[in-house]
Amino acid sequence: MKRLSVSLLLMLFVASVTFAQTSQIPLIGSKAPSFTAQTTQGELNFPADFGSHWKILFSHPKDFTPVCSTEILELAYMQKELEAMNVRVAVISTDNVSQHKMWVAHLEELDYKNHGQQKINFPLIDDSKMLVSKEYGMLHSPTSTSRDIRGVYIIDPNNVVRSINFYPVEVGRNLVEIERIVSALQTTEQEMVLTPANWNSGDDVMVPYLPYRQEELADNPSLENEYYNVGNRMWFKKVKDK
Buried b (16+ CB within 10 A) or exposed e, 112-128: beeeeebebebbbbbbb
**Torsion of the alpha carbons at 40, 42, 45 and 49, rounded to the nearest 10:** -90
Q: Cis ω on the peptide bond leading into residue 47 (within 30° of 0)?
A: yes
Q: CA–CA separation, 63 vs 84, rounded Å?
A: 28
Sign of CA dihedral 24, 151, 186, 38: positive
Is the distance from CB of 159 to CB of 31 less than 8 angstroms?
Answer: yes
**Could you say which of 57, 68, 89, 169 is catalytic?**
68
End-to-end CA distance of the chain: 76
DSSP string, 131-198: HHHHHTT---TTT-SSS--EEEEEE-TTSBEEEEEEE-TTS---HHHHHHHHHHHHHHHHHT-B--TT
Q: 68 catalytic, yes or no?
A: yes
Q: What φ, ψ does residue 101 adopt, rounded to 5°?
A: -65, -40
Q: Is 99 exposed, middle or buried (0-12, 13-18, 19+ CB in 10 A)?
A: middle
* DSSP character at residue 51: T
| Catalytic residue set | 68
